[in-house]
Amino acid sequence: MRVYDKEFKEEAIKLSYEIGPTAASNQLGIPPTTLYTWRSQIKEHGSLAFVGSGHQRIDPKTAEMKGLEKKIKELESANNILKKALAFFAES
Protein backbone atom coordinates (compact mmCIF):
# COMPACT_ATOMS: atom_id res chain seq x y z
CA MET A 1 0.00 0.00 0.00
CA ARG A 2 1.36 3.38 -0.99
CA VAL A 3 1.26 6.26 1.52
CA TYR A 4 0.66 9.81 0.28
CA ASP A 5 1.45 12.95 2.25
CA LYS A 6 -1.16 15.56 3.15
CA GLU A 7 -0.01 18.07 0.51
CA PHE A 8 -0.29 15.50 -2.27
CA LYS A 9 -3.81 14.58 -1.18
CA GLU A 10 -4.91 18.22 -0.99
CA GLU A 11 -3.47 18.98 -4.44
CA ALA A 12 -5.09 15.83 -5.86
CA ILE A 13 -8.46 16.90 -4.47
CA LYS A 14 -8.06 20.39 -5.91
CA LEU A 15 -7.16 18.92 -9.30
CA SER A 16 -10.16 16.57 -9.13
CA TYR A 17 -12.49 19.55 -8.76
CA GLU A 18 -10.77 21.35 -11.66
CA ILE A 19 -10.66 18.55 -14.24
CA GLY A 20 -12.91 15.88 -12.71
CA PRO A 21 -12.10 12.94 -10.46
CA THR A 22 -11.59 10.36 -13.21
CA ALA A 23 -9.21 12.55 -15.21
CA ALA A 24 -7.34 13.54 -12.04
CA SER A 25 -6.93 9.95 -10.88
CA ASN A 26 -5.67 8.94 -14.34
CA GLN A 27 -3.24 11.86 -14.46
CA LEU A 28 -1.90 11.18 -10.96
CA GLY A 29 -1.87 7.40 -11.27
CA ILE A 30 -4.08 6.76 -8.27
CA PRO A 31 -7.29 4.71 -8.13
CA PRO A 32 -10.49 6.78 -8.50
CA THR A 33 -11.86 5.22 -5.30
CA THR A 34 -8.87 6.59 -3.38
CA LEU A 35 -9.56 10.07 -4.69
CA TYR A 36 -13.25 9.83 -3.80
CA THR A 37 -12.29 8.68 -0.28
CA TRP A 38 -9.98 11.69 0.13
CA ARG A 39 -12.71 14.02 -1.09
CA SER A 40 -15.15 12.64 1.51
CA GLN A 41 -12.54 12.91 4.26
CA ILE A 42 -11.87 16.57 3.47
CA LYS A 43 -15.61 17.27 3.40
CA GLU A 44 -16.10 15.57 6.75
CA HIS A 45 -13.01 16.81 8.62
CA GLY A 46 -11.93 19.96 6.74
CA SER A 47 -8.42 21.12 7.62
CA LEU A 48 -8.09 18.31 10.15
CA ALA A 49 -8.27 15.63 7.47
CA PHE A 50 -5.16 13.59 6.67
CA VAL A 51 -3.38 13.91 10.00
CA GLY A 52 -0.94 11.15 10.84
CA SER A 53 0.23 8.51 8.44
CA GLY A 54 0.25 4.78 7.96
CA HIS A 55 -1.14 2.77 10.83
CA GLN A 56 -0.61 5.57 13.35
CA ARG A 57 -3.43 7.82 12.23
CA ILE A 58 -4.48 10.53 14.62
CA ASP A 59 -8.18 11.12 14.88
CA PRO A 60 -9.37 14.69 14.17
CA LYS A 61 -10.32 15.35 17.82
CA THR A 62 -6.81 14.47 18.99
CA ALA A 63 -5.27 16.62 16.25
CA GLU A 64 -7.49 19.53 17.26
CA MET A 65 -6.49 19.09 20.91
CA LYS A 66 -2.80 19.04 20.02
CA GLY A 67 -3.27 22.17 17.93
CA LEU A 68 -4.99 23.94 20.80
CA GLU A 69 -2.26 22.89 23.23
CA LYS A 70 0.37 24.29 20.86
CA LYS A 71 -1.57 27.55 20.58
CA ILE A 72 -1.79 27.81 24.38
CA LYS A 73 1.99 27.43 24.67
CA GLU A 74 2.52 30.13 22.02
CA LEU A 75 0.15 32.50 23.80
CA GLU A 76 1.76 31.83 27.19
CA SER A 77 5.17 32.59 25.68
CA ALA A 78 3.89 35.83 24.14
CA ASN A 79 2.28 36.76 27.45
CA ASN A 80 5.59 36.23 29.29
CA ILE A 81 7.39 38.45 26.80
CA LEU A 82 4.79 41.18 27.30
CA LYS A 83 5.11 40.91 31.09
CA LYS A 84 8.89 41.34 30.85
CA ALA A 85 8.48 44.31 28.53
CA LEU A 86 5.96 45.89 30.89
CA ALA A 87 8.33 45.43 33.84
CA PHE A 88 11.20 46.92 31.84
CA PHE A 89 9.23 50.02 30.85
CA ALA A 90 7.74 50.40 34.35
CA GLU A 91 11.28 50.76 35.74
CA SER A 92 12.15 53.52 33.29
Tens-digit pLDDT profile for residues 36-55: 999 999 998 887 788 765 44
Domain 1-57: top CATH class: mainly alpha
More confident residue, 46 or 73: 73
| pLDDT confidence tier of residue 92, bands split at 50, 70 and 90 | confident
Buried b (16+ CB within 10 A) or exposed e, 60-75: beebeeeeeeeeeeee
Its pTM surpasses 0.85 = no
